[in-house]
Amino acid sequence: MTQYTTEELQARFIPAAGLSYSTEAFIDYRIPGCAPKKNYALIGPGVSQNPNQPVSLREKHGFQVGGVAMGPGVTNPPHMHFTAEVFICTRGQWQLHWGFNPERHEYAIDEGDIASLPTWIYRGFQSQGTTDGKEGFMFTALGRDDTGGILWGAATLEAAREQGLHLTEDYQIIDEHLGGKWDASMKRLQPMTPHEVSQLRTWSPAQMRQRVVKFAELDWSQRALLDSALPGCGAQVAPVIGHGMSAERNHLAPIMNSHGFSIEWLKIPSGGCVSLHQLAAKQVLAVYQGSVEISIQNQPPLGVELDSTATKLVANGSIEGNDSYAMPADVWRSYRNAGSSEVVMLVMTPGDDRKRITWAPDVVERAAAAGYTHDANGYVGLKRFIDRSQR
């Protein structure tokens, strides 16, 4: 197992206040109505067409996490992705657009809502901003370390050319306003023809609604984690996409098709925590609300407490911004509510399979004393029945 220094673990913390962005990440940055748009690349190799796009952590995670901030009325024009694209709204309201073959469909998402757009369809979005007129923000999650790039619609490429921007076949932007020169020897990126677009699947608004998980409709479980019922713990989990770390046998995410990663909400009450545990996969945490102390150590625990070498940091989430953390695989970690209100944070984990948590031995013992354990399928259940069946 990789051993991490305190400095290495702290470097994986991505505070909202320190995020860098590019306003020239893609071919649309001079198209009227499409700027200014702040593109953030948080975790993963990135998908920007600008080689100068700042990236907080380039390490591969099996998926990529970015973000976008746009003022009211600013639009991201039609484009296509070949792997999963998930929008996580944390500020303002956004209007999602898709189809364009030929009609455009729309659906609005609000703060806390998560939408998974199908692959191989054209999509775009427009910021409606916040109620006080400020720019909105969404996290974006893209499937795989190599997403296959972006395919822009023909109208978008033509609108960019009218503004002196050209996109080559190998996704290089030639900007005439910055001294770039286009000549006949260069090859343009060729968009789909109208006939090819017409062959793409059509998703109705009713079908797309099934791919939007509203925050108000989340299925929270108080038995999703082995330690949930223990004094001083009390965390709840709500699945969103795929098989995550929930050990509630009746839990099923509203969106279950393969994304290459799972997404869950984790809620920790005031005074609560998630006890010391380990996971074999990397994870990305993004704090939506509240203040959480994240503690990490390399070595297996001697008891329920972290040892003296543990690295601790505090991540916050609010309407002003959301801190993130890229948790390494295999390390031991715990989360403690460090504020007076409940913590709500996103947990993103690579892989389409179920994620099995390994709990510190003392946590397992205390859960057993409280009457809970894992059954043979890895779900939390009453110990007296599970033990009886294995005699």
Looking up tokens 């503004």 gives: 163
Q: What is the mean pLDDT of residues 329-349?
A: 97
Return the pLDDT at 305.
58
Q: Does residue 366 register a pLDDT over 90?
A: yes
Cα(349)–Cα(357) distance, integer angstroms: 12
Res 304: pLDDT: 53
Predicted confidence (pLDDT) per residue in 58-78, tens digit: 999 999 999 999 999 999 999
Average pLDDT, the chain: 94
Write down the pLDDT at residue 51: 87
Domain ranges of the chain: 6-213, 219-389
- Same topology, domains 6-213 and 219-389? Answer is yes
Instruction: Report percent pLDDT > 70 for the chain.
Output: 98
| Pick from 228, 272, 246: nearest CA to 370 | 228
The yes/no answer on whether domain 219-389 falls in CATH 2.115.10.20 is: no
Task: List, for residues 169-223, the tens digit of each pLDDT value.
Answer: 988 899 999 999 988 889 998 999 999 999 999 999 999 999 999 999 999 999 9
89-125 residues labelled b (16+ CB within 10 A) or e (exposed): bbbbbbebbbbbbeeebebebebbbbbbbbbebbbbb
What would the mean pLDDT of 265-290 be, rounded to a whole number? 98
Section 26-49 average pLDDT: 94
Instruction: State how far the Cα of 32 lies from the Cα of 95, in Å rounded to an integer.
Output: 18
Per residue in 75-131, pLDDT (tens digit) is 999 999 999 999 999 999 999 999 998 899 999 999 999 999 999 999 999 999 999
Confidence of residue 307 (pLDDT cuts 50, 70, 90): low
pLDDT at 37: 97
State residue 101's pLDDT score.
85
pLDDT at residue 301 above 80?
no
The one-character DSSP state at 12 is T
Q: Residues of the chain with pLDDT > 90: what percent?
A: 89
Of residues 338 and 47, the one with the higher pLDDT is 338
User: At which residue do the structure tokens 């000549």 appear?
Assistant: 183
Q: What is the pLDDT of residue 134?
A: 94
CATH classification number, 6-213, choose in 2.40.240.10, 1.10.3720.10, 2.60.120.10, 3.20.20.450: 2.60.120.10
CA–CA separation, 69 and 163 (whole Å): 22
Residue 391 has pLDDT above 60, yes or no: no
Question: Is 214 in contact with 115 (CB distance < 8 Å)?
Answer: no
d(CA 236, CA 219): 10
Residue with tokens 């991540």: 315
pLDDT at 55 over 70: yes
pLDDT, position 389:
58
Mean pLDDT, residues 28-32: 96
Task: Output the pLDDT for position 203.
Answer: 96
- Predicted local distance difference test score (pLDDT) of residue 57: 97
pLDDT of residue 102: 85
Structure tokens at 178: 């910055």
For 151-155, what is the mean pLDDT? 94
Report DSSP state, residue 384: H
Q: Taking 90 as the threshold, does the pLDDT of residue 388 lie above it?
A: no
- DSSP codes joined into one string, 89-131: EEESEEEEEEE-SSSEEEEEE-TT-EEEEPTTSEEEEEEEE-T
